[in-house]
Structure 1
Amino acid sequence: MHIRKATAADAPIAFAIRREAILTQCAGHYAEQDIAIWTSGEMSESFALRVADAFHVAEIDGRVVGTGMIDLAYGKIDAIFVRQDWMGHGVGRALMNHLERLARDARLTSIYLDATLNAAPFYRRLGFAGEATSTYRSSLGVTLACVPMTKPLAPP
């Protein structure tokens, strides 16, 4: 597996992986109509710019199988999505380790994220803490329950 900084050319596959992950992993945790809204529409120009600016991708045999991003100004991790056929193979963990390393190199003392209800156990296994449920408001107009989580970082 190789993890690299994403480019604008990665935006379409990142968007497809995001949609697939939400449809397969969030089912049963969120209402069907909310998932339908959350995954509706086409890829926007702002999404493509965000991919080029802040995303990292995991590749296996030259094929993008996962995404993730970190805002190094604030320590916010987002967009951790893995292709369904690569779930459970360490892709998400490898992406998280990579993003944490970037955060440590940037001298951040903690990182945080808003976990979907289905993903909170995964993040807890990686050392994140958070139990309370909050609200995430999607740019598409859907409001979803999430679990705000934080993780302190040891210096590099």
Structure 2
Amino acid sequence: MPHKLSQISYRRSHKDDARAVFDLVSASVARLAPDPYPAEVVATWMSGRSPADYVADCQGKEIWIAQDGAVPVGFSHGVPGEVVRLFVAASQTGKGVGVGLFERALADARTSWDGPVTIEATLNAVPFYKRFGFVEVGPSIFGGRDPELPAIKTVILKG
């Protein structure tokens, strides 16, 4: 049987992408247990969240969507000074999708911004960001969760 080649494309979001973004976050978060986070911590990450939480950003075309054909397989979000989010479906990790999304979010983060770009990364994502020259500047937490989720604050100097 012939192997199907992926046809990854990137586009700006629209409001109808909120469900896909929510589903990608949910699936990615579930993979964080038990390493690097305990299952009881991961279980709380999405509590109280819904696709509606992503409508404004999607409708505002702030989010980049990666698609394999017509299927969303990842997304990223950058605002001046910060890469806010980057999530990739498990089936697409290690295939360059995250790199493509990251480059787009980083370009958005550098738009109208002359200072360092920051990211609050999950512990498992730190090695990915270090490949692009980001450095750890200290521990942080993702607030608004009970229990709070440990993170690493990373920063890249202007370059």
Q: TM-score, normalised by structure 2?
A: 0.84
Secondary structure at the aligned position of 1:119 is classed as helix
Q: CA RMSD in A?
A: 1.9
Deviates more, 1:129-138 or 1:101-110: 101-110
Paired letter, 1:146: A
**CA deviation after TM superposition for structure 1 residue 85, in Å:** 0.5
**Among 15, 37, 47, which residue is 2:22 paired with?**
15
Structure 2 unaligned residues grouped into runs of 5+: 1-7
Pairing 1:43–2:29 present: no
- Structure number with greater Rg is 2
2:78 aligns to what? 70
What is the CA–CA distance in structure 2 between the aligned matches of 1:6 and 1:87, rounded to whole Å?
21
1:103 aligns to what? 109
Distance 1:66 1:44, change over 3 A: closer
**CA deviation after TM superposition for structure 1 residue 16, in Å:** 0.5
Paired letter, 2:138: A
**CA deviation after TM superposition for structure 1 residue 7, in Å:** 0.9
What is the CA–CA distance in structure 2 between the aligned matches of 1:131 and 1:106, rounded to whole Å?
23
Paired letter, 1:39: M
Pairing 1:146–2:151 present: yes
Secondary structure at the aligned position of 1:130 is classed as strand
**CA deviation after TM superposition for structure 1 residue 131, in Å:** 5.2
Distance 1:107 1:41, change over 3 A: closer
Secondary structure at the aligned position of 1:145 is classed as strand
Residues 137 and 155, structure 2, Cα contact 8 Å, conserved in 1: no
**Among 28, 31, 34, which residue is 1:27 paired with?**
34
Residues 26 and 118, structure 1, Cα contact 8 Å, conserved in 2: no
